[in-house]
Structure 1
Amino acid sequence: MGDPISKRKGLIAACLSTLLVIAVIVAIVTTTGGEGGISHSLGSTNVDSTTKSVAAICSTTQYQETCHASLEGANTTDPKKLIETAINVAVEKVSNALRQSSLMKEAAEDPMTRQAFDVCRDVLENAVDDLKRSVEQIDAVEADTVGEYVADLRTWLSAVVTNQETCVDAFENTTGDTGQEMRNLLRTAMELSSNGLAMVTDIADFVGSLQLEDVLGGGRNLAAGGEEEDVVERRLVEALNSTIVVAKDGSGNFSTINEALASLPKTNNGSQIVIHIKAGVYNENVDIPKGLNKIVFIGDGMNATRITGNKSVAAGVQTYYTATLIVSGEDFLGKNMAVENTAGPDGHQAVAVRVSGDRAILFNVRMDGYQDTLNADTHRQYYRNCTISGTIDFVFGNSLSLFQDCTFITRKPGPKQGCMVTAQGRSDPKSNTAIIIQNSRFTAEPALLAAKPPVPAYLGRPWKELSRTIIMQSEIGGFINRTGWARWIEDIGLDTCYYVEYGNRGPGADTAGRVTWKGIRKVTAEQVKSWTGGVVYRNDTWIKASGVPYVPTLLPQKSAN
């Protein structure tokens, strides 16, 4: 007899090969009629099979007219080929916007406007790269890797959407109507990117509906918990034997972090490169560029190794470029260090750390600032035993980020300012992004607690209309306003955000006085499991392989309000 596991995989592969074809048929049958609609009879001779397939693949997208236009002239019924075609059109449109923005920059006189175009150049280049690698993976789906395949595609296409939004947002502090011109230029590209994300998400939904995750590497059966601390330490000590050493006193290979990074090849997709940053204060803005992957920073402790900078919007720098540490390379691991932005409350937006690279892990890292301390920008990120301090929106961005055993310290802001811990920036209903905080602590520095009159402090506010934040099994201090969540501008996001508090404890965890927006959700124990690491990442082996402690499930329930 044959191997039963192989037979099962063969059956799954056969199911997957017909899955999207079935989806096409279902969509055609269920699509409602109307002006400009198509014939809905499967036996109709008036509508060819390609038109049916295009109608089906576009049926769940937000921008159906744009979807149909992008697939005009397509001559295939293969849904994967149709998705590939749609994404290729998006590549063309984003590339065109990139070229046009370069021309528009030449006419700009305002320094912040010129910087805004620089932001657009960088993030649109990232968008094009993520679109292109999405196309490359369209034909790569196999039974053994479909969970990872779908997770990658959703992550990359969610980042494409975010990066285009970042381009437009960069014009908020500029003069004139250039920002609106840029939004108009990007409109079709943004619609196409959203449609591509919707198409890929449908694949994920079909896979989930067949409950194939357990067999296909979905991560639900992974054992709870990461490796013991001594195992992690042993691995890191072993790595230090072959590291690049940065030391202020000249005892290492380099005296600055940037010198160490400059010595490396511009791209790295092989083994990890470990950089030991010895105790000291490093006054430099550090940028790990895209393509420089698998970089490991190991400091001598949160209170020993510190990277410091002071760039800010008040000093004329775009928020995107203010970060003291920028991580754009993939598979970054940072441990035992501190990063700060010392611009202070008068600096307005002033980022300490911006993480844009996929599969980034920060472990025992302290991040200090005021407004916008941590930009959890795009892709997948994991934070463990980290401390983040700040005032306004000090954890923001639109990545898929999980924080475990972290401490969020709210600081005293400037005059007439309030405090919001989170500002999540989800804008597309198909994006897989969220800020998820588990088994962590919300505390305040003494200066804020002693402030007269008291400073209003909140768990977060909806930066974008579909802002999504989940806080579970965490301790919330009594300094948090009893309403819990703050408005952004007027009623933006109040009905469409997704905010969950579950199983929390502490004097600030009582939800009886919370705001009653439609976006405030009540979930059951079973429902909240969908926000644990083993589920949201689908494939979380990148965390487990790091040796960093990690729990992919809910923790045993502690006493909660």
Structure 2
Amino acid sequence: MGDDGKKKKILIGGLASVLLVAMVICVTVGVERNSGGNAAAPSTGGGSGGGISTANKAVHAICSPTDYKETCESSLSGANTTDPKELIKVAFNAAVNNIGEAIKNSALLKDAAADNSTKDALDICNDVLESAIDDLKRAGDKVGAFDATKVDEYVEDLKVWLSAVITYQETCIDAFENTTGDTAEKMKNLLKTARELSSNGLAMVSDVSSIIGQLQLGNLGGGATTSRRLFSNDDWINRRVLKGRGKAYAKPNAVVAQDGSGQFKTIKEAIDSVPKNNEKTFVIYIKAGVYKEHVEIPKKMNKIVFIGDGPLKTRITGSKSFAGGVKTFQTATVAVNAEEFTAKNIGFENTAGAEGHQAVALRVSGDKAVFYNVAIDGYQDTLYAHNYRQFYSDCSISGTIDFIFGDSLSLFQNCKFIVRKPMDNQACMVTAQGRVDPRSVGAIVIQNGHITAEAAFLATKPAIDAYLGRPWKELSRTIIMQSDIDGFISPDGWSPWMGNFALDTCYYGEYQNRGAGSGLANRVTWKGIKKITPEIAQSWTGGVAFKGDEWIKAARVPYVPTLMKI
């Protein structure tokens, strides 16, 4: 036992060096192959020799897995180092600077914009691009603070944050939907290099992950994870509130009640009482009532917990909509921008109706968000699962068109998906996933869910077409497994977005589903429809897909990290 422990310490201590050497070796092989096996000898510096310098070789090596090699090498041309970690940080900083320039130029574009819709789009760009910069900076800090005891989580954090950077840039472009003039095209041009640099950064990190897998080093940390817990063992919320033991609530940090029996009458007032840059669990108990307000959890106001008296008793409602002149991103009744947010026993609703078109009830733009026994109700675009990692347990989500959409890595367990009656001549789609980069972590995973419909939908004659989803973006990815699918779902299963767009590049799979609508015999046969094996299905369970699920376990909600016995 003692000898094994010493060996493990030696392995862990040398892991960073092994990874860095492995990275250079793996990609240098590619460089040598590209030069016909006759790579020039490293330069000794100075002089006018024709050899490729060691620094240049390192740049070629670090850029080899990227899709935009010329942009990569250009961004690293001034880096006088052969340390892959430092090169990656330089690449991240190049993206930060490029996005910063785009933000500066967007201010000039806003001054020149002639219509409010374009100005609103530029406001969204400024907001999400600032978030992209924050993620790049913390990714750079993470690279510099390599932790060999938590390899899987270390790499996964980097991949999640860099995936978010790409999603934020895509969100900026999406904000220009239905705007006039050429501002949208100008913004695309401003972000072209930044998008390439961000994709390159994700490729570099993903290549490290691949090397870890090839060397089978993923378990050197010893198995047990050491992620921060959302709640301490003696936290009242673990013992009482999240376990839902009647109304025996201990002392929350804030109580909201419309009848004046709490500290605040509005949820906004309670949020305003949370310390800025909060990093301690802050529980807001929201008593039964219908709260007609738009609620936003600001960035860096982390670890906020909403507890209601039940999803039909405590309701937060709003009615902003795209048809009402508001950008989709800004229509959310509740918008979560901070990390480690938890909600239990509460309802979120957008009441704009089908005629409001895009009208979000809940937008989640914060990492490691957990929802339990939550109702999310609307019509089109009900739940904007925008970014990062999200988990939903025993929730209900209702809507019509694309009513779960976004590019987060979202797992829904034991949830009910209720299709509602749309406007005339409209079809319904449960999901519309928005992945755009092949290395992005984004996916919608539904496990042991129930896809059903309200009575008004089922009573409509002729019957309304309804589908499991459609590809919002080119690499849209959705997996539905071990779920009950009612018979109103079209035998095709999946719907095109427009023409042949993304039919070859999407990733849609079904596994061990049941119910009258689960038959695979008549499903569409796009190239993007995948056969899901038991091994692939297992890879999409929470215990594998999240590469570290302590944040879910810490929230003390029902959760199964593996395939279920149905």
Shorter-chain TM-score tier? over 0.9
Where 1:287 maps in the other structure, the secondary structure is strand
Q: How does 1:193-342 map to 2 (within 5 A)?
A: 193-216=198-221, 232-233=242-243, 240-269=250-279, 271-342=280-351
Report deviation, 1:102: 1.2
TM-score, length-scaled by structure 1: 0.94
Inter-CA distance 240–6: structure 2 relative to 1 (3 Å threshold): farther
Inter-CA distance 6–308: structure 2 relative to 1 (3 Å threshold): farther
Where 1:506 maps in the other structure, the secondary structure is coil
Higher relative contact order (CA 8 A, sep 6+): 1
For 2:170, which of 165, 179, 201 is the aligned residue? 165
Conservation of the 8 A alpha-carbon contact between 1:28 and 1:40: no
Report deviation, 1:24: 1.6
Residues 23-58 of structure 1 show CA distances to partners (whole Å, capped at 9, x for unaligned) of 222222234766xx6975375662222111111111
Spell out structure 1 runs of 4+ moving beyond 6 A. Answer: 217-220, 227-231, 234-239
Report deviation, 1:238: 7.6
Worse-matched range after superposition: 50-59 or 398-407: 50-59
1:428 is matched with which residue? Answer: 437
2:84 is matched with which residue? Answer: 79
2:102 is matched with which residue? Answer: 97
Partner Cα separation in structure 2 for residue 517 and residue 67 of structure 1: 34
Report deviation, 1:211: 3.0
Partner Cα separation in structure 2 for residue 219 and residue 32 of structure 1: 40
Partner Cα separation in structure 2 for residue 436 and residue 303 of structure 1: 26
2:46 is matched with which residue? Answer: none
Unaligned runs of 5+ in 2: 44-50, 228-232
Conservation of the 8 A alpha-carbon contact between 1:239 and 1:274: no
Partner Cα separation in structure 2 for residue 426 and residue 236 of structure 1: 41
1:497 is matched with which residue? Answer: 506
Aligned length: 550
Partner Cα separation in structure 2 for residue 544 and residue 236 of structure 1: 22
2:47 is matched with which residue? Answer: none
1:118 and 2:123 equivalent?
yes
1:48 and 2:58 equivalent?
no
Partner Cα separation in structure 2 for residue 500 and residue 544 of structure 1: 27
Report deviation, 1:176: 1.2
Instruction: Give the letter for the 1:118 counterpart.
Output: D
Worse-matched range after superposition: 138-147 or 126-135: 138-147
Where 1:484 maps in the other structure, the secondary structure is coil
Conservation of the 8 A alpha-carbon contact between 1:158 and 1:197: yes
Partner Cα separation in structure 1 for residue 489 and residue 443 of structure 2: 21
1:178 is matched with which residue? Answer: 183
2:391 is matched with which residue? Answer: 382
Inter-CA distance 237–17: structure 2 relative to 1 (3 Å threshold): farther
1:488 and 2:497 equivalent?
yes
Query: Over aligned residues, Cα RMSD in angstroms?
Result: 2.2
1:543 is matched with which residue? Answer: 552
For 1:142, which of 131, 134, 147 is the aligned residue? 147
Residues 279-307 of structure 1 show CA distances to partners (whole Å, capped at 9, x for unaligned) of 00000000001011000000000110000
1:357 is matched with which residue? Answer: 366
Partner Cα separation in structure 2 for residue 47 and residue 239 of structure 1: 68
Partner Cα separation in structure 1 for residue 6 and residue 250 of structure 2: 42
Instruction: Give the letter for the 2:7 counterpart.
Output: K
1:461 is matched with which residue? Answer: 470
For 2:113, which of 108, 116, 119 is the aligned residue? 108
Conservation of the 8 A alpha-carbon contact between 1:148 and 1:217: no
Residues 129-186 of structure 1 show CA distances to partners (whole Å, capped at 9, x for unaligned) of 0011111111211221222211111111000000000001100121111111100000
Where 1:458 maps in the other structure, the secondary structure is strand
1:532 and 2:530 equivalent?
no
Partner Cα separation in structure 2 for residue 417 and residue 212 of structure 1: 51
Inter-CA distance 360–42: structure 2 relative to 1 (3 Å threshold): farther
2:48 is matched with which residue? Answer: none
Inter-CA distance 315–40: structure 2 relative to 1 (3 Å threshold): farther
Worse-matched range after superposition: 99-108 or 46-55: 46-55
Partner Cα separation in structure 1 for residue 252 and residue 311 of structure 2: 22
Q: Percent identity?
A: 57
Inter-CA distance 110–408: structure 2 relative to 1 (3 Å threshold): same
Partner Cα separation in structure 2 for residue 161 and residue 38 of structure 1: 35
Worse-matched range after superposition: 527-536 or 62-71: 527-536
Conservation of the 8 A alpha-carbon contact between 1:385 and 1:406: yes
Unaligned runs of 5+ in 1: none
Partner Cα separation in structure 2 for residue 500 and residue 367 of structure 1: 25
Worse-matched range after superposition: 347-356 or 19-28: 19-28
Instruction: Give the letter for the 2:146 counterpart.
Output: V
1:394 is matched with which residue? Answer: 403
Instruction: Give the letter for the 1:169 counterpart.
Output: D
Where 2:372 maps in the other structure, the secondary structure is strand
Instruction: Give the letter for the 2:446 counterpart.
Output: I
Where 1:233 maps in the other structure, the secondary structure is coil
Where 2:87 maps in the other structure, the secondary structure is helix
Residues 296-343 of structure 1 show CA distances to partners (whole Å, capped at 9, x for unaligned) of 000000110000000001010000000000000110000001110010
Where 2:326 maps in the other structure, the secondary structure is coil
Conservation of the 8 A alpha-carbon contact between 1:219 and 1:540: no
For 1:151, which of 149, 156, 176 is the aligned residue? 156
Instruction: Give the letter for the 1:13 counterpart.
Output: G
Inter-CA distance 235–399: structure 2 relative to 1 (3 Å threshold): farther
Conservation of the 8 A alpha-carbon contact between 1:354 and 1:375: yes
Report deviation, 1:527: 2.1
Inter-CA distance 198–411: structure 2 relative to 1 (3 Å threshold): same
Conservation of the 8 A alpha-carbon contact between 1:16 and 1:143: yes
Instruction: Give the letter for the 2:221 counterpart.
Output: L
1:22 and 2:22 equivalent?
yes
For 1:189, which of 194, 198, 202 is the aligned residue? 194
Inter-CA distance 118–422: structure 2 relative to 1 (3 Å threshold): same
Residues 484-503 of structure 1 show CA distances to partners (whole Å, capped at 9, x for unaligned) of 00001211111111111001
